[in-house]
Amino acid sequence: MNRILRGLGPAMPRPGAGDILRAALGAGLALLLTGLLLGQLPGGPVPALIAPFGASVFLIFAVPSSPLAQPWSVVAGSVVSALVAVAAVHAVPQGLPAAQLLAAGLAVCGAILMMALFRAMHPPAGALALLIALTADPAALPGPLYALSPVADGAVLLVICGLVWNRLTGRVYPFRQSASPHGTADPAAERRLGLRAEDLQTILTRLRLSPNLGPEDLGRALEAAEAEATARHLGGLTAADVMSRDVIAMSPGASEHEIALAFRRHGFNTLPVRDAAGHFLGIIQDRDLIEADPSLTATDFAQPAVALPPTAGLVDLLPLLSDGHQQSVPIVEGGLLTGIVTRSDLITLLAAKIRSQDQDMTLSRPA
C-alpha cells in the first residue's frame, strides 16, 4: 500500500527558485509579446492567442531540453494537428448524433498519428485539435488557413521567444545534437569506446523514453556519471595534486618571436599569460602562431580559458580536457596563476593508476 501511495505522490524534485522564476517570467513575456505581434498583423487572428499556446510555452520555457519542446515539434506538430482537426470537422456530417464528439475523437486520434508520422510529438497540439473540434461553428467551419493563422505564426513566434530567452538566461534551446568537436565524422574521443549516438537512441527507444530525453543529453548525463565514478576511483585527488607548479608563462608584452621560441624550447602546445603580479590573463595555443603577424604580442594572442581552483576535483578536470576545446587547464587561486594541468598530466596519472591496479591484481592472484 505504501508503495502505491508513494507512486501517487510527486515524482520529481522541486525545481530551484531561479529555474522557476526564469521559466514563469519567460513564458509570460512570450505570450504577451506573441499576442501583441499577432494583433498587429493585417487581418490578424481574433483572438490572437489560443489556449494550447499556454501549454506550449510551458514546455519551451520550463523543460526546454525535452524533445516535446523542440522547434520542429512545436511548429510542425501544431500545424499538422490543426489541419487534421479542420479535416475532421468537415468530414463528420453535422446531422449525426454526437457529431461534435465524433469529430473531437477523430481530430485527436488523427493528430497523434500525424505527429508521430512527422516526428513532431507535441502534447499541446493534441489539445489544439480538440479545441478546434469542440469550438467549430457549424455555420462557419474553419478552413485550412486556420493552420497558418493563428496556429503557425503563433507557434513560430513562441519558438523565437524561447530561443532568445533561453539563450539569454543560460539554457540550451534547441537541445544539443550529437557532433564531433573536431568537425569530423568520428565521435568525440570519450565515446569511441563507449556508447555512440545510435546506441543511446536505441536505449531511449527500448525504454520508451524518446519523447522525454534526447540522446545527446542522455550521453552527457552518462559521461558526467562516469567522470564522477572515475574521480572517486582515483581517491579524491584534486588539481593541486596533479598540477605542474613550475609554470612557464609569457608576459603580456612578449613578442611573437619570444612566444615561438618558448614553444620550441619546451615542446608545449599551450602557454599561459600572466602579468608581473602573477594574475592569469589567458592561454596562447601554438597553432595561433601559424602565419601570425610578427608585430603581435602575447596580449593579442591570449584567449580566455576555463580555469579551476586548486581544490577542484578530477571530476571537474576530466570533461574540460577531453572535449577537444582545451589542451590545458590553468589553476588559479585568488586570480593568481598557481599551476597548470595538461592532457599529458592526466593521461600519465590514469596510466599510473592502471599499472597500480594491474600490479595489485597480480599480487592478489593465488600462486
Q: How far apart are CA 298 and CA 262, in angstroms?
A: 12
Q: How far apart are CA 130 and CA 125, in angstroms?
A: 9
Query: What local confidence, expressed as pLDDT, does residue 171 receive?
Result: 87
Q: How far apart are CA 338 and CA 300, in angstroms?
A: 22
Task: Locate all alpha helices (DSSP H) within 41-152, ordered by sequence.
Answer: 52-62, 71-91, 99-117, 123-135
- pLDDT tens series, the chain, 367 aa: 677 777 777 777 788 888 899 999 999 999 999 999 988 877 665 677 999 999 999 999 999 988 899 999 999 999 999 999 999 999 999 878 888 999 999 999 999 999 999 999 999 999 999 999 999 988 888 999 999 989 999 999 999 999 999 999 988 888 755 555 445 455 555 554 456 777 777 877 787 766 667 777 777 777 777 666 666 666 567 888 889 999 999 999 999 999 999 999 998 889 999 999 999 999 999 988 988 888 999 999 999 999 999 998 877 887 788 766 788 999 999 999 999 999 888 788 777 766 766 565 555 555 5
Q: How far is CA 320 from CA 193, 227, 273, in A?
A: 19, 11, 19
Residues 111 and 53 both lie in one domain: yes
Instruction: Find out whether 167 and 153 touch, Cβ atoms under 8 Å.
Output: no
Query: What local confidence, expressed as pLDDT, does residue 92 receive?
Result: 93
Residues 47 and 154 both lie in one domain: yes
Domain end residue (candidates: 185, 214, 233): 233
Tell me if residue 219 falls in helix, strand or coil.
helix
Residues 84 and 218 both lie in one domain: no
Contacts of 43 (CB under 8 A, 6+ apart): none
Q: Give per-residue burial for 144-179: e unless 16+ CB within 10 Å, then b.
A: eebbeebbbbbbbbbbebbeebbeebebebbbeebe
Residues 96 and 148 both lie in one domain: yes
- In this prediction the pTM is 0.62
Beta pairing class for 328-333 and 280-285: unpaired
Residues 262 and 332 both lie in one domain: yes
Query: What local confidence, expressed as pLDDT, does residue 200 receive?
Result: 77
- Provide the number of structural domains found in the chain: 3
Residues 247 and 225 both lie in one domain: no
Query: What local confidence, expressed as pLDDT, does residue 182 receive?
Result: 47
Residues 50 and 111 both lie in one domain: yes
Query: What local confidence, expressed as pLDDT, does residue 324 receive?
Result: 63
Query: What local confidence, expressed as pLDDT, does residue 193 receive?
Result: 44
Angle value at C-alpha 337, between 331 and 343, nearest 5 degrees: 40
Q: How far apart are CA 291 and CA 192, in angstroms?
A: 34
Q: How far apart are CA 104 and CA 89, in angstroms?
A: 8
